[in-house]
Every structure is written in structure tokens, then in C-alpha cells.
Amino acid sequence: MSTTARIEATFAPVRSQTAFEETLERLGTAIKLGLLRPGERLPAERELCAMMGISRSTLRQALTALVQSGHLRAVRGRGGGTFVAESPPAVEAPSRAVAERWRDVCDQRLAVEVGIAYLAAERAGGRDEVLEPLDAIVARLDDLLDDFPAYRQADVRLHIGLAELTGCPQLVVAATESQGAMTDLIANIAHPPAVLAVSNGQHARLLLAIRRREAPRAMQVMAEHLRATEHVLAGLLPAP
């Protein structure tokens, strides 16, 4: 593939509500497929923003996450820039079974948790006594960005807590099963603090929509949150 074709394939415009995660996916996938080669220098930020149709802040978030995950390295000073890492990050490659089923796991989670968001907004909206414990989890998550095992435990409690707001035991069971499957899946990727920070911002927006009894908005935010996770998985899951 020519250099021009590689650049056009990798840096085509990003058009989505999840621009940060899609940018991360695009770059991570290009590295995984060899479209961005070890040691290769990425174009300048201004050029990348223009090609991908994204803001500089979105690009910098994605680059920071990929530096944190070990896919890129940033070099300061003369001759500096952002370069593809010479070797892939030390993350265990998923089994073929995991690689083949991860989108099914995400689809099942989407079907369950978008409905949970809708019912939680309808049934728990405006009830501070049941929402305040979830607000506390979101606040705690902001302090756990550098401790993924603890972050993940709190994240699971948040999502199961949302299911409990529906008052439907079957949905609590479904959410618990979904979270278990996701935990097995995301064990195969790095967890850059930049990604976790964006994810928790989505949690906060979700709780705001629930508090306001804005059920359609809660569904939208939850869907964006879950799709964002899919983009991160697509970009960071090592090839089996």
C-alpha cells in the first residue's frame, strides 16, 4: 500500500458523538494492522486535526491515551513528535474465542443496559436518596484513574446499581452477567487513565439525565457510553 493510501485510510474524517474513542480506535487499529509502522512519526497535530475533522483537544486526548497504553511514544524537543512504539505493549493477546465473540458480548450489554437506563430514569428520577450513592461512586471513580482494578470494581457497582434502580430483579441478574462478561473481555487491553476519565464523564452525564427523568436522553448517553467502549476495544485489543 502506498504512503498516500495508508494516510488516507488511517486519517479519514471522524464523524461521531464519540470522536475521542473513534480516533483512538482508528489509530490503534492502524498500528495493529501495520498501516502505521513501528518507529513511524505521525503527522503534525494541526495536520491530523484537519484530515480527521476533529478538535485539537480530542486529538490530544486520543494521543495521550495511546501513549499511556504503550502504542505511541511522545518525544520532546528538536526532532520530536509522536511516534509509533517500536514494539507492541506487553498485553496478553486474547484467545481466538474471545477475539471472535467480543462484539457479541458488547451487543448483549447494549441491549440490556440501554433499557436499564430508560427504566431507571422513569422510576428513580428525582429521588436523591437512591441516586446519591451512585453520585458518590462517580466521584470516587475520578480518584481511581491510575488504579484500574479498583476503578473496575467501582464501575461494576455503578452499573449494577443502575439496574437496581429499575426495581426489576431479572435486569439486575442480566446486568451482573453482562458486567462479568465485560470484565473477562477488557482484561485483554490496557487501561489508559485518559480513557477512564472520559468514560467517567459519561457516567456523570448519565446520572444527570436519570435525575432529571429524561429517559430518552439517558438511553442516548448510555448507548454512547457503551459504543465508546466498543471503539476502545477495537483499537486496543491485540490480534489473537
Q: Residue 83: helix, strand or coil by DSSP?
A: strand
- Look at residue 134 in the predicted model and tell me its pLDDT: 97
The answer to whether residues 116 and 202 belong to one domain is: yes
Q: Model confidence over 210-223: pLDDT tens digits?
A: 999 999 999 999 99
Burial 8-22 (b: 16+ CB within 10 A, else e): eebbeebeeebbbbb
Q: Please give the Cα distance from 29 to 120 (Å, whole number).
A: 35
Domain end point (choices 51, 84, 117): 84
Q: Are residues 117 and 19 in the same domain?
A: no
Residues of the chain with pLDDT under 50: none
Confidence (pLDDT) at 13: 80
The residues, ordered by sequence, that sit 6+ positions from 220 with a Cβ below 8 Å of its Cβ are 209
For position 126, what pLDDT does the model report?
85
* Last residue in a domain, options 84, 110, 143: 84
Residues 103 and 187 in one domain: yes
Q: Are residues 111 and 182 in the same domain?
A: yes
Is the pTM above the cut of 0.85? no
pLDDT score recorded for residue 204: 98
Considering the domain architecture, whether residues 65 and 130 belong to the same structural domain is answered as no
- CATH number of the domain at 134, please: 1.20.120.530
Q: For the chain, what is the domain count?
A: 2
Digit-coded pLDDT (tens) for 128-149: 999 999 999 999 999 999 999 9
Q: Let me know whether 121 and 156 are in one domain.
A: yes
The whole domain housing 173 covers 96-236
Predicted confidence at residue 90, as pLDDT, reads 65
**Which 3 state secondary structure label does DSSP give 72?**
strand
Cα-Cα-Cα-Cα torsion 87, 92, 96, 97, nearest 10 degrees, comes to -150
Is 91 a domain residue? no
CATH of the domain at 76: 1.10.10.10
pLDDT at 12: 76
pLDDT of res. 85: 92
203/113 same-domain check = yes
Q: Are residues 78 and 109 in the same domain?
A: no
The pLDDT of residue 77 is 77
In a domain, 90, yes or no: no
Q: What is the dihedral of CA 199, 201, 203, 207, to 10 degrees?
A: -170
